[in-house]
Chain A
Amino acid sequence: MRRMVARRLLGAVIQLFFVTIAAWLLFYVIARFTGASPAQRIAGKTASAAQVALVAKLLGLDKPYWQQYLIFLGHLIHGNFGYSYFQDRPVSSILWPATRATASLVFGAALIWLSVAAPIGAYGGLRQRSIGDVVGRGLAIVGMSIPVFWLAPMMAYFFAFEPTQGRILGLSILPTGTTLFPITGYVDLGTSPIEWAYHLILPWITLAVGFAAVYIRYIRTLTAEQLGEDYTRTAKAKGASTSRILVRHVGRNVAPTMTVLLGADIATALSGVFFVETVFNIPGLGWTGVYAIENLDYPVITGVVIVCAVIAVLANTIVDLLHGVLDPRLRRLAAR
């Protein structure tokens, strides 16, 4: 077990190392040939050549590339992501609150999509080709096909904007100026948990729809597979109720696989965050990233990419370790 953990952690460190190399190459080396140099960007357009050279020296840009990379990596390890070109403050002070907001969004959405998909998927696996199953599968394939960057404005329009005009789904039945859900804005969990949840309901649902769809399909397939196994037949033969079989037997065997999928999808959800956050104005990593891209604020873009990659790698690692805990077969395999 300990060896498995050590190997997995080492793998994670190597992945992160690759991530930093790729991010550095992209934003510090290639970017220099395609746009203005970082020294020029910081010194300003009107700076003299001597001033630019001075800034370059201060940033260490006159050193060989491998040294520059080591300096970059050293700074990263100390949590130093450099200084934003546009906002007059260090990138790390921008990234930390953004990460909190994004984490709120992603974990809340994950909770929603799991709790929606589990019953629908399990029912579909249990009663294949029943009406409920057909409807569930239909919903799933539609949910999979809805682009999140379309769903976000549509949700904002129908559930937040229209009520302020006194309409809901085109029907004028509300008093003008009704606030059903706030269109934009974000309140930190520490400030007010109720406001936090209220502001996040629409973003949570928006982000969750696509994943709920995929999870209905996962859970349905896995449940159907497990119900065909001998052990579930034994459980049924000894008189266990359907709900007991589903929860105690099937659930126990589906859980490890679901955990692994969840790890990968938390990472995938970070892509959806870009669109959801910009539409609902949540100052998270996606919003920060889009804003930085518009301004070609490379230090911030780099920071966002690296933080997201770290979250993705961490999620996958934690989930793999959890998988080992949940699935005794893996432990035995690792012990051998």
Chain B
Amino acid sequence: MTIEMPVLEQDLEQEMGRPVRLRTQVFRRLRRDPVSMFAFSVLVFLVLAAIFGGPLAAHLTGHPPNAQFANALASDSQPIGVMQRVYEANGITHNPHGSLFILGADSLGRDLLVRVLYGARISLLVAGGATALALIIGISLGLLAGYLGGWVDGLVNRMTETAMAFPNLLLAVGIAVVIGPGILNVVIIIALFTWYYPCRIVRSATASTKQMTFVAAARTMGARPRRILLVHLLPQVWGPLLVYATSIIANNILFEAGLSYLGVGVPAPTASWGSMLSDAVTSSMYTVDLPLALIPGLALLITMLSFNLLGDGLRDALDPKGARR
């Protein structure tokens, strides 16, 4: 009678008799998870759509994202619906068969499909930029606070506590009102409200790791603090940081959309999912033409869902027990 070994652990730990690197193990586990892989492919598709989708759709339909087609309004000057053709579209299109608006047009006669695709660009650009900025600030402060301890640690702790005490969105809106709209401003504001999550993770991980013998060994061998921080301490926290980064990106996409929804985000006429939603809702136009609110919202939902699913998958893959929680 053979004793059944847990197959999963066995082949992960051994590969040609050598221990497998943690990173390889994690990616291998992640690849086995169909949900994560599905979410990942949706995200890849989304990035491609953000880069090429907008210009491609604009080229094929002949509708630039911010062009307003006066004829793309029904006779009662309400927006046209899905799969409607428009003739004599402002002289921009000379197509005798009319120009097709696949998802219809908004109340200003702009092509909804083209704008949703361009909106993906803004969402990913702003959220990605803000997340990168937040990670840079958070990791640097976290490493310094955890490694140096003492008053630096105290100062950073007070900073994170104060930042967390504020109602996020509210103050963000306040700052946005004061410093004015603009893509870069939105990136900075969002980063200002997200840096403390990575900071706390890195700080606590660094504080506990620096006690370990291998750090003392490195120091004995004459490694400078900078080398210890970047080569020895930082690689220890990449796992939890990666999980956090996915959830921060998801939240930042929502954050950008929220700010744009409230009219203090990416300035008009640039297409952003948040501002498209708010245009449709505040004018009550979505009660006439539901896709105006439905489509940008679904785009947001799919993006958020993919990031959240991938984040969950990553966390499970990083869990040394390999158990789903």
Contacts and interface: CB of A to CB of B under 8 A. Distances in A.
B273 to A, nearest CB: 9
Interface of A: 15, 18-19, 22-23, 26-27, 30-31, 34-35, 129, 141-142, 144-147, 149-150, 153-154, 157, 161, 221, 224, 267-268, 270-271, 274-275, 278-279, 289-290, 293-294, 296, 301, 304-305, 308-309, 312-313, 316
A34 B179 contact: yes
Contacts of A293: 173, 177, 262-264
Contacts of A154: 293-294, 297
B301 A150 contact: yes
Interface stretch (B89-97, B125-133, B159-167, B223-231): B159-167
Interface string B285-322: 01100100110110011001100110010000000000
B170 interface: yes
Contacts of B301: 142, 145-147, 150
B194 to A, nearest CB: 14
Interface magnitude class on chain B: 35 or more
B287 A157 contact: yes
Contact of A308 (B162, B167, B287, B309): B167
B281 A153 contact: yes
Contact of B258 (A35, A149, A296): A149
B168 interface: yes
Given A150-B297, A301-B177, 14 more contacts: A18-B162, A22-B162, A34-B180, A141-B309, A144-B304, A147-B254, A149-B281, A153-B277, A154-B293, A267-B167, A270-B170, A294-B263, A305-B167, A305-B171
A271 B263 CA distance: 15
**Interface centre among B161, B178, B290, B312, by most A CB within 10 Å?**
B178
B72 interface: no
A271 B162 contact: no
A18 B308 contact: no
A78 B108 CA distance: 49
A161 B169 CA distance: 28
A157 B174 contact: no
A26 B174 contact: yes
Contact of A144 (B173, B297, B308): B308
B261 interface: yes
B126 to A, nearest CB: 15
A267 B169 CA distance: 11
